[in-house]
Amino acid sequence: MNRVIVVGGGLAGLRAVEALRAQGYEGSLTLLSAERHRAYDRPPLSKAVLMGERDDTTVDADWDALNADLLFGERATGLRLSAGGGGTVESTAGDLPFDGLVIASGATPIRLPGDGPQHVVRTIEDSRTLRDRLVEGTRVAIVGAGWIGAEVATTAAKKGCRVTVVEAADTPLAIALGPEIGAHTAPWYAEAGVELRYGVKVASVDVGGLTLADGGRIDADEVVVGIGVRPEVGWLAGSGLDVERGVVTDASLRASVAGQTRPDVVAVGDCAAWWSDRYGRRLLVEHWDTALNAPETAVSALLGGEAVYDAVPYFWSEQFGRMVQYVGYHPAAQRFFYRGDPRDARWAGCWLADDRLVALISVGRPRDLVQARKIIADGVAVDAEALADPDVPLREAVRG
C-alpha cells in the first residue's frame, strides 16, 4: 500500500492520519477536508465557545512529522472503486487515486424548510456567528430539546436572552433516553427561565420566527435548529459501497460492496455504521469518544491487522448547571431503575439485560459513570438490588 487518502479533516480524520504513521505506514498520505480549519474539538462549540469562554478548540498535532498532503477547503464529490482494489476519490481538487481509503467525512446538521435564517451548531463558524447574536433581550427560538438544544438554551439564558424551546415529542430527550427520563429534565428549563413547549411541530422557519404545523407562530429574532445530523455520505452515491444510514462496516471498520468486505476501505466517526458484537447490532455513534478512539482500529485493519472495535459508547452534556453523562446502549435492555431520586440534584439510572448492566445515565454522579463503564465493558453479572442502592458503590454490585 503506497497511497492512502483520508476523506474528512475532523477529529476522526486527524486520528486516522496519526494512527497511520504511528503504525508504520510510510507511503503517500493525503488528507482531504471540506473545512478550511485544522481539526478541532466540537463538544465545546455549544458550550465554552458559544459562551465566549473560548475561541479556538484546535486539536494539537505535529503536522510536520505526519508528512501529509493537506487539502483544506476541498470536498469529496464521488468515489470510483477498482475491481482489483484501490480506486479514485473524485474531489474539487481533482481526481485522487488511492490504494487505501479512510472515510471520515462526518455528518451534516438537519435543517428545516423555510426562507428565514436558521442557525445550527456544527462548525466553529456556526458557533462564533451564533455567539455574536446571543445578546441580552434577544428572542431566541430553539427547535429540538435534545442535547444541542438544551446546551444552546443554557447558554442563551445565561446571556439574558428570552428563550423558547419547542419539541415535537412529549418530553425533552425522548428519542435519546425515553420519555420517562426526559420528563425528569423538563423542570431544568423552567429553573433557567426557559419556556419549553411540548408536542409542537414546526412547519417552516420564516423571517421573524417559526410557523408551526397547526398554523400558529412563534416570533423570534434568532432561530436555532438542533434536531440531529445525517451522515455525510452523499458523495458515495453510485460507488457500490454498502450504505445504510452510514457507511456499513464490519467489526474492524472495513467497508463492503454487496456484502463483501473491501479491506482497502475503512470508515470511522460520525459516518460509520459499525457492527458491535457486544450489542449484536450495527451502531452509528455520533460522539467525540468514538471519533477519538475508533481510527486506531480502522487503520490497523487497513494495514492488514485484525483488530476489532467494540468500545462501550460514551458521551456527555453540560446543561442547566448539570453534568449529564451516558455510557452503554440501552435499546435492548429489559429492566430500568434509578439510583437515587431523579428529583434531586444527583442521581443515576441503570438499564439491565438479564443480569448484566448495559447502560447508565449519570446526573452529577461521575464516580457511577466511571465504574459503570468498566462493568459494562467487562460484561459481568451484577446484583440488581445493590445496584439500585445509591449508597453502594457500583463496583460492589458485581457478583462474585
Q: What is the mean pLDDT of residues 159-176?
A: 96
How far, CA to CA in Å, does 27 sit from each of 7, 30, 68, 103? 17, 10, 10, 18
Residue 400 has pLDDT above 90, yes or no: no
- 3-107+230-302 carries CATH number 3.40.50.2000: no
Residues 6+ positions from 256 with CB-CB distance below 8 Å: 241, 242, 248, 249, 250, 262
Express each pLDDT in 1-42 by its tens digit: 899 999 999 999 999 999 999 999 999 999 999 999 999 999
Domain segments of the chain as ranges? 3-107+230-302, 111-225, 323-397
The reply to whether 323-397 shares the fold of 3-107+230-302 is no
Q: What is the pTM of this model?
A: 0.94
Q: For 65-101, what is each residue's pLDDT tens digit? A: 999 999 999 999 999 999 989 999 999 999 999 999 9
Please say if the pLDDT value at position 332 is more than 90.
Answer: no
Percent of the chain with pLDDT over 70: 100
- Per residue in 346-387, pLDDT (tens digit) is 999 999 999 999 999 999 999 999 999 999 999 999 999 999
| Fold of the 111-225 domain | FAD/NAD(P)-binding domain (3.50.50)
pLDDT tens string 283-300 = 999 999 999 999 999 999
Q: Which three cell numbers stand for residue 282?
A: 450495527
C-alpha cell at 194: 426557559
pLDDT (tens digit per residue) in 190-249 = 999 999 999 999 999 999 999 999 999 999 999 999 999 999 999 999 999 999 989 999
pLDDT in tens, 47-61: 999 999 999 999 999
Question: The CATH number of 323-397 is which of 2.40.110.10, 3.30.1330.20, 3.40.50.1370, 3.30.390.30?
Answer: 3.30.390.30
What would the pLDDT profile of 105-149 be if each residue is shown by its tens digit?
999 999 999 999 999 999 999 999 999 999 999 999 999 999 999
